[in-house]
Structure 1
């Protein structure tokens, strides 16, 4: 069965990538477009089998998922249904694997194929011993041990509630990572509203900047003290913001804005319109206000747990810094009084981008908070994710014509400046840290992220 699925989807992908193959598959594509639930079911089934112990070891799941996602991207299935199917399949596959390990324990060593290949379980146990509960999330993206980590977690007696919290959170990340590349390939090759190469390159550059900045920060923390790094980072971000603010008033700044606006407008497609509308919606008032309240919720729990003056002060300092950020960019808008681009729906002034400033601050904070529970080697992953989300929102503002390019540059510097202010404070007054709260915090973050996605 695995071979038949693999062969079929490889053949479909090969045909999709050849011009004549589109005509040959038009009948299949039309039928699946009218019966979308079948492709969604197939994607969920592949994700389930690829995540299931024993089956996932021999199944070419990555190839099959890419092929199915490519077909979905050709117009057969919408992106949200595809991601939901992959999420549910991965969630169930890992969940059943864990329950098998939890129930049968060492008896699994006598099952085929583990009795012939005991090293598969041994590698999983070594990885689990080294990384603990985080291995559930990390193991999803490491091929050789991918299908056995949930099984090993059950065998080694990991508490079920912790496993399922991490399982839900990591499945939310796993589905887009494994499915979106194929979906975008199908969309860019076969939809009239394809993805321009320029936007793919620009987004890749933003991802590189986020990853490079996060790992540079980790490297500098080894070389110099955290206090010195954060103070230097604050001054650098502040000077950068001042420089961009000057540029915004100069003719050169408007020339740059006009060039970027004209070039961006020429790259609009219906697909990108949908994607960037969803991205920019995360920076609207209600999602950002929710992120702000969520941070206060965590800080409030810390204050109740620690019951000391420092923990209470952290709550109020975060409140003051966040409100000061809001007041600063609103005041700058009134001070500069620069008009927005012609297509903008908002009637407020343009410089700087409040969406970008808020999202840089608000997305970096919870991922920095979660990173405190992890070893230093994993923290840059979270930092880069938070920074990338903020940069992506900035990119969406330029694409939608809601802000000039220089507005986004200024918003980035402003948000980073205030985040560095928080790091300076927190470094002198560390948050209370209880290892027992880690999985609860992950679960709360997963629920909150799901709520934001649903809202937008």
Structure 2
């Protein structure tokens, strides 16, 4: 990922005019009449802002290109409306979608000339307002004034959030490229899931009466179907009518669940997909990502689901909505019974042993199943009390939450992909069955306030659940590292070559070269290195992060972001000033190697130069620079050491705590080679 970004930045640096033209074309298409609804220009302009934060583009030229594209596109749209007037309605695209012009005309008549300025920032009417303004005879000079002002504000309004997001990805990238990828994927994936869920729910609510009417017409036109089903379908309230409408989706969910079950039980190719996705997501693990995903997965724990459903049931009973309360209880209890029964029958193991009892089995995922069932049914109940135009919102939020919970189970290695997919299919089938049964005889909605109650209860229960068990769950879900044994003398002889040569970030991507290997206690090494000027950096806290905003800060007063190797942060992080520099310093990091040398843990480490870089003119962040040669490192006399070379001639310094070594220090490293530079001066040269 880092290499791809570097290539992109270098290409843009070599072709700045092409990059500017690309920004111009995107802004032009995004603002063009009607076409702007089809072009994701806003997202592309945000991406341009992220490239500005990465240093690939300059702010002022990019803003000028974006503003010019938006202003010219709106000007062309205005000319079309001004030239064709009412004939514009006969254009094929507008004739097929007359509501687009109607919405723009209503907006323009309500706001007048300033609608050109306001409409620039209002998504649904943005691409048609200039067209409508010209069609309705707005004065060209007045349009130009509003158009230019809005274009000059629109460009930075979209670029600045992109720059902030790009800077945040730079912060995440300093920790790990996998963290930056995870954040970007979650933001993009969450937005796509919510947008798709919103469209699906609104489409279903809008089209359901038409589908029902088509079903009735089809039955009336067929004498055989009319004789068999007419008496049931033409009742005012019929269970069979909605059931037939949902039978396709219900059957599809049931078929998917049975197909996945068969593949899993018989070792079909889906199992290979399980292992591929498991290894892929485990390659994205970071401690901060684990913290986020643990928090998400706990929102799908049985304790949270049962508590939220129980409070909603009690409230419905208090409001004398016993019918709804009974169905909510049956849906929740039946869902748990169904999923735990299937788990006990299939007995498919998880990727890692996490639980005991019936929940130790993986298939299907109870988190995925019950998130769909409980949050989905609560969304149906909440939607009943809302206006028709807002009933999509609870359903979209439920889909987004269920999708996030399912992804968290995959990320944390608690389930295979087939477990989560089968859980979604099973949950949807059960939810459809219970929803159809519920709406068969549901009385009129006489309660109000369930939405607020469910949201308040959800947040309260989740906060209590986090406070009671977050650390326990984070420990349970943390990356498990296997430990192997090796003799100390073999490590000194040639075993050190079996260690990873560089820090592993994304799968197949290597970051800083490991120029240290250390056997012993990290705290002992920190004490010894303190004698030669090394110290621990400022702790990374919310308060200390404010130091990043200081003007011309002392580098050693800035908190240093952790870095990730094999899914873990460093065990030890030390810093030391760089002689003669006020914008850089040295950093030493150690990570567990997963190897024990005669019961002594082995660590892999780097010593790098840290450069303080400024982002957006506000944030001064230490970023990792070059790796220092091992020969330039100064070590106290008490630390055992030996310099070795890899086949590529890179030098690695082997360090050990003498009393921890084999024979309690009997193995001594070679003395300093004659003519080598003193450590402090050598370190200064290495950083130049």
What is the TM-score of this pair, normalised by structure 2?
Answer: 0.37
Contact 1:339 1:349 in 2 (8 A): yes
Alignment partner, residue 379 of structure 1: 391
In structure 1, what is the Cα distance between the partners aligned to 2:376 and 2:298? Answer: 18
Residue 326 of structure 1, aligned match among 330, 336, 346? 336
Higher helix share: 1
Larger Rg: 2
In structure 1, what is the Cα distance between the partners aligned to 2:195 and 2:259? Answer: 23
Relative distance call for 1:220 and 1:249 in structure 2 (3 A) is farther
Residue 189 of structure 1, aligned match among 149, 170, 173? 170
State the Cα distance separating 1:410 from its structure 2 match.
0.7
Give deviations 1:12-38, integer Å, cap 9, x for gaps.
Answer: xxxxxx9xxxxxxxxxxxxxxxxxxxx
Q: Does residue 292 of structure 1 match 2:304?
A: no
Residue 276 of structure 1, aligned match among 293, 304, 320? 293
State the Cα distance separating 1:352 from its structure 2 match.
0.3
Contact 1:314 1:429 in 2 (8 A): no
Residues 33-432 of structure 1: matches in 2 within 5 Å? 185-191=166-172, 192-193=175-176, 194-196=179-181, 199-200=185-186, 201-225=188-212, 226-251=242-267, 252-302=269-319, 304=320, 311-342=321-352, 344-347=353-356, 348-432=360-444
- In structure 2, stretches of 5+ residues that fail to align are 1-8, 10-45, 51-106, 112-120, 125-160, 213-241, 467-688
Relative distance call for 1:431 and 1:357 in structure 2 (3 A) is farther
State the Cα distance separating 1:373 from its structure 2 match.
2.3
In structure 2, what is the Cα distance between the partners aligned to 1:291 and 1:187? Answer: 34
What is the TM-score of this pair, normalised by structure 1?
Answer: 0.55
Q: Which shifted more, 218-227 or 245-254?
A: 218-227
In structure 2, what is the Cα distance between the partners aligned to 1:248 and 1:209? Answer: 29
In structure 2, what is the Cα distance between the partners aligned to 1:183 and 1:335? Answer: 50
Alignment partner, residue 458 of structure 2: 449
Alignment partner, residue 548 of structure 2: none
Alignment partner of 2:388: what SS? coil
Contact 1:370 1:442 in 2 (8 A): yes
State the Cα distance separating 1:188 from its structure 2 match.
1.9
Q: How many residues of Structure 1 are paired with residues of Structure 2 in the alignment?
A: 284
State the Cα distance separating 1:416 from its structure 2 match.
1.1
Contact 2:304 2:462 in 1 (8 A): no
Contact 2:296 2:408 in 1 (8 A): yes
Contact 2:190 2:400 in 1 (8 A): no
State the Cα distance separating 1:143 from its structure 2 match.
9.5
Relative distance call for 1:392 and 1:183 in structure 2 (3 A) is farther
State the Cα distance separating 1:256 from its structure 2 match.
0.9
In structure 1, what is the Cα distance between the partners aligned to 2:271 and 2:192? Answer: 23
Q: Please, what is the CA RMSD of the aligned residues?
A: 3.6
- In structure 1, stretches of 5+ residues that fail to align are 1-17, 19-65, 71-118, 124-140, 145-179, 305-310
Alignment partner of 1:419: what SS? helix
Q: Which has the higher contact order (CA 8 A, sep 6+)?
A: 1
Higher strand share: 2
Contact 2:274 2:416 in 1 (8 A): yes
